Structure formats: C-alpha cells, structure tokens
Structure 1
Amino acid sequence: MSESGGIQDLTMREAFYVAVEDWMARDETAVVVLADISAAAFARVNLRFPGRVLNVGIREQAAIGVAAGLSLEGYRPLVHTYAPFLIERPFEMVKDDLFHQGLTATLVSIGASYDEPAYGRTHQCPEDIALLDSLGTSEIFIPGHPEEVGPLLFRAVSGSSVSYVRLSTAQNSLAHRCYGPKMVTIKQGKRAVVVAVGPMLDSVLRAGRGLDVTILYTTTIRPFDAIALRSAAEFSTDVVIVEPYLAGSSIPVVEHALRDVPHRILGLGVHDRDLHRYGTREEHDRAQGLDVEGIAASIRAFLGM
C-alpha cells in the first residue's frame, strides 16, 4: 500500500479513506460494508468501484452478517463504523458469524474510547479490546499517527482471520515505522519498562521526562511482542502499559510474556467506563488519569517515587 504525499496533514480517518481506495485498486476481492457512517466519504470510491461499497443503513448486525457472507464467497470484506456500533452492538454476530466460522474480515472503527464525548455514552467504547480478546485470537492494530494508518490497514486486510483497526482523533506528533508486531524502543532506562500503545506515546514521553525508564512503542497489540518486552526487561521487570482503552486490557498478555520471571505490572487506561459527563476528549483524558500529569503521577507512585 503506497504512502501518499501529504498523509501527515490528514486525520487518521482521512488517511483511512485514502488507504482503502488504494487497497481496492489493488485487490478485486476488496469490499467495504458501511452502516451509514462515512457513506458520503466513500462516494468517490463507490463511483470508481461500482458495487464494492455496500451501505446497509443503520443496521450494524446486518453489516457483520453481510461481511460474513462475502467472506464465505471469497471476498475480503472491511466493515467500518463507530467502535460501539462495530463491536458492542453486533457482538453476537461478530462472535458467531465471523469468529465461530473462522472467517476473514477486517473491522475498522472510529470514535475510540471517547473521541466525541458530546454524543454521550452511546458513542463511547473503551471496552472494545477486552470484548475482542474474549472471542479468541485476532490481530489488533492501534495506529498513533495518520502515516501509520495505511501500512497497518494493509497488514489487517492481508490477514487470514478477523483483524481490528482502531482509529482515533488523538495522535502523536511524529510517525514511527512500527508497522509490524515488533515494538520499537524509543528510550532506554533501568528503573522500569513503559509500553505506550498507539496515540499514547507523546503523553508517555512527556510523563517519562527525568525518569530512568525504557519506553517501548507499539501499534500492534495482538499478537503482543513478548520477545521485545522480555529483552527490555533485562534491567527491571517492573512494567507499565499505557493503553487508550479499558485499563488492564493487556495485562494478561504481559503476564504471559513474563510468566517465568518475578515481575510487577501496572495497567493504565480508561478506569471509569462511564463518567456521566460530556466535555472534550482532553477533559476525559484528565479525568481518567491519561493526561501527562496523570500518567507521570501513576508511574512515580508505582516506582515508589
């Protein structure tokens, strides 16, 4: 998948539209299934590839069923909508139609945990990763910058199972070539290992200023890079993982990676699923302890500082 010029100036969602059009031009089996969300954005793609952009309307359960049927017929379906309408609302269909039958499909969400809190709890979904983990093995990608969206989407649509790409309005200031399952070392230290997932990297870097910690960056959380974590934990097996969704979602995979050595784990993420507040994404980050100050305070307390 080509990296088009100017991607750095787009949002993740806009970079996704560019990448999908590129993918559909290369793969005649590529089909997009929509549930009204982003239908206007795909108008040009629909004209260029007639019959390969299917909008089922506000029927998310049907969208998953249609994707399952397409997959059974040899197509590579991609289903796109807001995270709660993609994972939570049609969860039974994701479980039975896709996972149970061992089908290939790519799910791409927007909205993340609380990107648009003005819409209320209906558009918030910090639970998505935990729900997918409950269904078994899948590939899960969390880009942290628009330039990372295209390469990660190509990996997702090239897979042989259910893949999930989680887009967000939050993003890091710089892209990193972290497109495979291997984590990238951003900073080295000896007191602890801090894993920053996707758009959390900038906040983690600022929170880690002055701390003797290793910072790893990942955009692929399933499968989890146990080898890189074990290597980074050479000096300390105190591990902090900072994720932009339900706190503790990745603690089981970290536990498994370090199962044969003594260790401590702190999982930072969304700790309160429902704050009963609107506000802005930044205000929700602050309330969840996922702003720079909150992350720094949690790491320092974990390290006894």
Structure 2
Amino acid sequence: MTAFALRTGTQRSLDQRERFYDLLPELVAADPRVVVLLADIGAGYLDVPPEVADRIVNVGIREQLLVSAAGGLALSGMRPLVHTFAPFLLERPYEQLKLDLGHQGAGAVLVSAGGSYDMPTAGETHSGSRDVPLLDTVAGWTVHVPGNADEAEALIRAVLPGDDRVYVRLGAASNAVAQPVGGGMTVLRRGSRGTVVAVGPTADRTLAAVADLDVTVLYAATVRPFDGATLRATLTEPDVVLVEPYLAGASTRFAADALSGIRHRVLGLGVGTAELRRYGTVADHDAAHGLDVAGIRRSVAGFLGS
C-alpha cells in the first residue's frame, strides 16, 4: 500500500466535517465524474459555485433514494460521493447498500459525519456506533477512520478517482498531529509487553493512557482491509488490545486471523451495545464506554496484568 500525501495548512479547518464541506466544491469542479448526493444533512453548510451546482444534489430526507441514486449514477459512469450522518447512511438504507451497490458491483464513496455520539442530545436516532461492523456483513468495502482533518482530506482526495466502494468515517474528536495514511498501520511507539492498536481519533488518548506501560502502540486510519501484516511483524508478547471509536470488538476477529498459528489474546475496546438514555456530553459517553484516558488505562493495564 502507498501512503497518501497530507496537505496541511494553518488556514484550513481543523474540524473533519467542516474541512469536508470546504473541499466539496473544489473536488466536484476538479473531476467531471464526481457527483455529490446529500439527504439534507450538510446542504445548508455548502457554498456551491454555479458551475458545479448541477452535480451537488440534495434528495431530501430520503436515505434509501440517496443510496439507490448512487448505484444508478455509478452504473452510468459517474463517481458518487454520498454524505449524511452514519445511521442514516448505513443503517436505514442497508438493503440499498447490499443490492444497489454491492450486488450490482457499483462503486461509491460514502462519507459519514457524527462519529458514534458527536450529538448526544439527539439520542439513539443519531448514534453511529454500528457502522463499521454493519459494513463487515457485505463484501468489498474499504473503510477509513481518519484521526484528524488533514488525514480526512488526504484520504478523500485519494479515493475519489477510483471505482470501488469506500467508506470514510468522520467525527468531531481529533488527534493533535496527522499521521501518514493509506499505507497500513503506523508504529507510534515500541514496547515489549504487548501491542495496543489505536484507531483514528483514539490515538492521542491511547498514548496518554499507556504512557507508563511497556507496550507497542500502532495507529490505524484504515481498518478495512485490516493490516494484519504490520500487527504480526511488530508483535512482541502475543497480547493485543484494539481501541476503536465504534462498536467494541469490531476488529477482534481480524486481529485473530492475523495472529493465526500464534497463541494469543485479543481485547476489543469501543462503544458498548447498551443504550445510554441520559444524554450528557461526549465526554460523559467516552467515560461510560471506557474510551476516556482513565478507562483505556484501566482496561489495558488489567488485561496485561500491569
């Protein structure tokens, strides 16, 4: 895999979703194949030049149509870039994802917003923690989980020219420094007592959580395909912890497959399946799911016996 170039700049938004909206008119203007499909979400944030207005289409709150239209446009030779919140993009139109894209062999770039619970006051309707494991039930998807806006921009620019099926998961949480993306996992630090894989925006808090532990930390902005080769090549003790910003355990079977033939243990940290009915804040939800610094520290140390 070849790492994608990062384009950084102090004048560009540090918020992944804002950066995406800033980029859209430029991306559409640069490639006559690209057509953006929206379902109301994001439509009010775009400053659309007249020359590309016919290729930025708001279908309204019709998520099944959103994905079906993407399938039709792809079959006609266009490159659909489809955007809304994760549960409206993947859960509500799941049948269309399975049939109109997957069954027909049609490609599209799906870009979500909202992470798992970026809008906790919106409740369960806007919870996006099931997105990645849901896509695992259908074949042929590449899944990117960028850790900040620079990574998100690099990934979106890189995948648009293709014809494959790609999901880019945007969220409000961000790491302070962008890492190389598109080339598999990156080694953030090395240790001898186990491996912790931090996915996307969990990297900074994971590094803080294991600062006093003798562990290797790997960073993954691309989770499908899962980079089992790097995990295996950098393994010291066969104990692996996965820290993911979506449903807990989503990648444990992929890690287990990568370590086939090696006696190993894998712990998957992430968002639990229980519905949290007190809205609270994002920080409250992080703490409740054990995805804050203290929770990650407690889980990793307990698993490794530190």
**TM-score w.r.t. length of structure 1:** 0.95
1:21 aligned partner: 25
- Aligned equivalents of 2:55 and 2:48: distance in 1? 9
CA 1:8–1:175 in structure 2 vs 1: closer, same or farther (change >3 Å)? farther
* Mapped pair 1:135 → 2:138: yes
- Aligned equivalents of 1:273 and 1:59: distance in 2? 28
2:218 aligned partner: 216
* Mapped pair 1:39 → 2:43: yes
1:185 aligned partner: 187
1:296 aligned partner: 297
CA contact (8 A) 2:6 2:151 kept: no
Q: Give the deviation of 1:2 after TM superposition.
A: 7.8
2:84 aligned partner: 81
* Mapped pair 1:154 → 2:157: yes
List aligned pairs for 1:1-305, cutoff 5 A. 3=7, 5-6=9-10, 9-42=13-46, 44-45=47-48, 47-177=50-180, 179-233=181-235, 235-305=236-306
Q: Give the deviation of 1:260 after TM superposition.
A: 1.8
Aligned to 1:164, the other structure's residue is in SS state: strand
Q: Give the deviation of 1:159 after TM superposition.
A: 3.4
CA contact (8 A) 1:126 1:273 kept: no
Aligned to 1:210, the other structure's residue is in SS state: coil
CA contact (8 A) 2:115 2:171 kept: yes
Q: Give the deviation of 1:158 after TM superposition.
A: 3.2
Task: Judge which range, 148-157 or 44-53, deviates more.
Answer: 44-53
- Aligned equivalents of 2:49 and 2:261: distance in 1? 52
Q: Give the deviation of 1:272 after TM superposition.
A: 3.1
Identity of counterpart residues, as a percentage?
Answer: 47
- Aligned equivalents of 1:191 and 1:200: distance in 2? 20
Q: Give the deviation of 1:157 after TM superposition.
A: 2.0
Counterpart code for 1:91? Y
Q: Any runs of at least 4 consecutive aligned residues in structure 1 with deviations exceeding 3 A, and if so which?
A: none
Task: Judge which range, 265-274 or 124-133, deviates more.
Answer: 265-274
Aligned to 2:280, the other structure's residue is in SS state: coil
- Aligned equivalents of 1:273 and 1:13: distance in 2? 27
Aligned to 2:273, the other structure's residue is in SS state: coil
CA contact (8 A) 1:244 1:270 kept: yes
Aligned to 1:176, the other structure's residue is in SS state: coil
Q: CA RMSD in A?
A: 1.5
- Aligned equivalents of 2:11 and 2:76: distance in 1? 33
Q: Give the deviation of 1:9 after TM superposition.
A: 4.1
- Aligned equivalents of 1:161 and 1:273: distance in 2? 34
Q: Where does the alignment leave 5 or more consecutive residues of structure 1 unmatched? A: none
